[in-house]
């Protein structure tokens, strides 16, 4: 999906919501366990309930590969079920030497046909470049994450006082451009969003951490929006586990997504 197409979907729906499809078997409502493929059935119901309110879906690959062959099959079926109008992100956090990265890129851009994949930048340009070779596909580079351990490395300052996350963003912007490169910035890092938007004024930001992790949506929009909106805000648990019983699962999941989309619509005015 191109930047123009993604931006059109955001403006048309007045939404920059990305729904994380993280089907943790230990948290799936019990009635799904009666299905032959509970993971796919769960995802299918979530997609049906949320597709009118979001513009993107982000399956975290760990929840699928942990299940072996059946998990990969559920991921493939899920990707096929997502409407073509929606941006798809493989949350895989890959990053390896060049020839291995090329195979990872082939996996997620050809075998599975995702629009984007999350990448860890630690190994540098040659580990990222193979992903950027694919036309109309996106690299979403980890920049400033929302987990507690982000302070271990991401805020480390060099001799001139520049934090590592800033160096990562500035360096990566020489590898790709705003049409194929996004950055992950956790919603709980709201105080740094303005700084990051100054460094990368045109790039899209994927922002996890709104919802169960407690990130503030209003702060994200105020500090992170650009002229094309330039945001994909991900919510997972607060939406996909909103319903626990068969009789109201779809309604509660839909309501959770609609509520967040409505808040987004107001903030975009």
Q: Which residues are tagged catalytic?
A: 93
Q: What is the rounded distance in angstroms from the CA atom of residue 189 to the CA atom of residue 64?
A: 28
Cα dihedral across residues 256, 45, 183, 11: positive or negative: negative
CA 257 to chain centre: 15
Burial track 249-266 (b if 16+ CB lie within 10 A, e otherwise): beebbbbbbbebbebbee
Q: What is the rounded distance in angstroms from the CA atom of residue 167 to the CA atom of residue 106?
A: 28
Placement of tokens 């309110």 in the chain? 53
> Measured between alpha carbons, how far apart are the two ends of the chain, in Å?
25
Q: What is the rounded distance in angstroms from the CA atom of residue 258 to the CA atom of residue 17?
A: 10
């Amino acid at each position: 999906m191109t930047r123009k197409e993604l931006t059109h979907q955001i403006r048309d729906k007045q939404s920059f919501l990305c729904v994380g499809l993280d089907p943790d078997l230990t948290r799936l409502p019990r009635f799904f366990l009666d299905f032959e493929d509970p993971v796919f059935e769960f995802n299918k119901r979530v997609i049906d309930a949320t597709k009118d309110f979001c513009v993107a879906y982000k399956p975290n690959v760990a929840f699928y590969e942990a299940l072996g062959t059946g998990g990969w099959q559920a991921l493939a079926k899920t990707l096929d079920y997502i409407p073509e109008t929606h941006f798809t992100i493989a949350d895989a956090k890959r990053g390896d030497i060049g020839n291995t990265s090329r195979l990872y890129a082939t996996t997620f851009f050809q075998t599975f046909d995702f629009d984007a994949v999350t990448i860890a930048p630690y190994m540098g340009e040659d580990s990222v470049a193979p992903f950027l070779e694919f036309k109309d596909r996106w690299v979403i580079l980890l920049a400033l994450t929302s987990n507690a351990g982000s302070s271990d490395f991401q805020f480390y300052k060099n001799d001139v006082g520049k934090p590592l996350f800033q160096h990562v963003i500035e360096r990566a912007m020489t590898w790709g451009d705003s049409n194929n490169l996004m950055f992950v910035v956790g919603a709980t890092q709201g105080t740094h969003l303005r700084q990051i938007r100054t460094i990368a004024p045109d790039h899209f930001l994927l922002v996890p951490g709104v919802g169960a992790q407690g990130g503030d949506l209003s702060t994200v929009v105020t500090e992170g929006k650009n002229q094309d909106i330039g945001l994909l805000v991900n919510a997972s648990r607060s939406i996909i586990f909103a319903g626990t019983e068969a009789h109201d699962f779809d309604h509660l999941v839909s309501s959770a997504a609609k509520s967040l989309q409505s808040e987004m619509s107001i903030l975009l005015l």
